[in-house]
Structure 1
């Protein structure tokens, strides 16, 4: 099969299209022929080993041979393991792997897949898992969102942010979205009742207070983020492109600081580490079938232009998601 791989850490141009063996599947795995995959910051951080902490899981000096980047995917089931239930050959599915989706075929654990809603294209379905999982779990599980709360989403026009604005609105919150001038209308159309243009205003200097802040950007210190928070409010740290590049820890540094300070203050500071699972995927699929959640896709690239797609995401200006098609 054709797959993108890399043999040294660096910019997206280190990616090369190679002929690799079709992946084996375990008893709980499903072999999926990929029809579309989306690009996340997670992907270029693995390609570049930025932060350096990434090397611990994929290779200290260089990536292990035969590794394929990519997480989000949508496609068609070609083969199922002996213990797989609920999925069969020919099913159209979407979900996520730790690595491997930038290939013609990928082996996926069954508990990271769900049947694709019939009304969604493969491109739309491929854009969901990592970003929507992060938004959902960050708001619901970590942030403990409740109806009537004031919620601020920093980075509201990005991959996680576009889902977070919609989900927070669905949960009954009053949503403020922080984005650039060109994205204000998009964020309002997703449900935000208030917007902040970060090129003209610093939301941390506002008099308004928020019960929950979901930070997808990483461009403010914890002290700054706490300023517009209610005395018992919650900050959920996702990370973001603004987190120090080329460092040992990257976004994890802010997460560690949050964990250290949280026990000593009345406000809650927590990091989100998304946990892909089929239960949440089915929940998200149901929302999309009802028209209550809509993926926002900025650009679509053909499979053979993957490095350009990764480069575009790395620049940090994508509105919603960037998708590659096979």
Structure 2
């Protein structure tokens, strides 16, 4: 099968993307073979492309040439317990162990996939799953968002930000969205009550205003968020490993630092996602789509400003 791989330098420098032919995976017990029709790009893939994960990638290459892609949709090519051959499915992988999805086929644990909900397309599911499972964890499980809550959302038109914006609207929250100036009207259309452009140096709102700050960009940290949070407010970042100092500071603060690391998924979480998809909470937003042979263009698109939603292979 064809798959995306990289030549990774041993030191600093950007890996070189290449298309390779590798054996089609054979599903083990508990796994289902899926023909991948759509797979998203995410921040981890961006770090691979820009050379920020070379040491980790060199270790991965010893066992698997496919290094990128944590969200996908496709068609089952074998039977599982509940998934049957021919079913349209979507899935999310373990972001540390894989397997990764930027190839034509994948053998994935059945617990990491679900049948495509009614009314949802494969492209739409691939565009949603990564951002949506992250947003559900942040806004439902950590922040416990309720009607009337005030939320500050950075990176509001990126793949995670869009799903967070839509979910917050579904929960009845009032969202101040931070995004590129070219995307202000789009953010409003997705449910933002107020919008701020990060590239025109607009000032953040007054102090002590927000119940939750979801730093999806991420562009803040706990220290910068403190003055903007209500006394019992919560700061959540998509990159908690970059704000260890914030975690320590939160230990002696009334304001909370919500630990968010969506490293894997399970049937319970996917069931909740499918339920929200069917309820209309999410509307897929695809920034752009590329054929597998044009993967380099897709990865390059991640570096451009003003993106809107998910980039899809």
1:267 aligns with 2:252: no
- The residue aligned with 2:70 is 71
Report 1:220-231 matches (<5 A).
Answer: 220-231=220-231
- Confirm whether residue 127 of structure 1 aligns to residue 127 of structure 2: yes
What corresponds to 1:309 in structure 2? 298
The aligned counterpart of 1:37 is: 39
Change (3 A) 1:185 1:35: same
1:17 pairs with 2:19: yes
1:258 is the counterpart of 2:246: yes
**Cα root mean square deviation, aligned:** 2.1
Aligned length: 304
Q: Which of 83, 87, 98 in structure 2 is aligned with 1:91?
A: 87
Tell me, yes or no, if the aligned pair for 2:231 and 2:254 is still in contact at 8 Å.
yes
Matched, 1:184 2:184: yes
What residue ranges of structure 2 are gaps of 5+ in the alignment? none
* Alignment partner, residue 156 of structure 2: 156
Q: Are the equivalent residues in 1 in contact too, given 2:208–2:227 (CA < 8 A)?
A: no
Following superposition, the deviation at residue 144 of structure 1 comes to 2.2
Q: What TM-score, normalized to structure 2?
A: 0.90
Which ranges of 4 or more aligned residues in structure 1 deviate by more than 6 Å? none
Structure 1: tracts of 5 or more residues without a match: 240-250
SS of corresponding position for 1:264: coil
* TM-score normalised by structure 1 residue count: 0.86
Following TM superposition, by how much is the alpha carbon of 1:270 offset from its aligned partner in structure 2, in angstroms?
2.2
Structure 2 equivalent of residue 108 of structure 1: 108
Say if 1:144 and 1:290 are closer, same or farther in 2 by CA, change over 3 A. closer
Distance between the aligned counterparts of 1:284 and 1:137, measured in 2?
11
Question: 1: CA distance between counterparts of 2:18 and 2:114?
Answer: 30
Distance change (3 Å), C-alpha of 1:316 and 1:150: same
- Cα gap change, 1:3/1:35 in structure 2, threshold over 3 Å: closer, same or farther? same
After superposition, what is the alpha-carbon deviation per residue over 1:287-323, rounded to whole angstroms, capped at 9, x for unaligned? 3333331011111111111111011113454211011
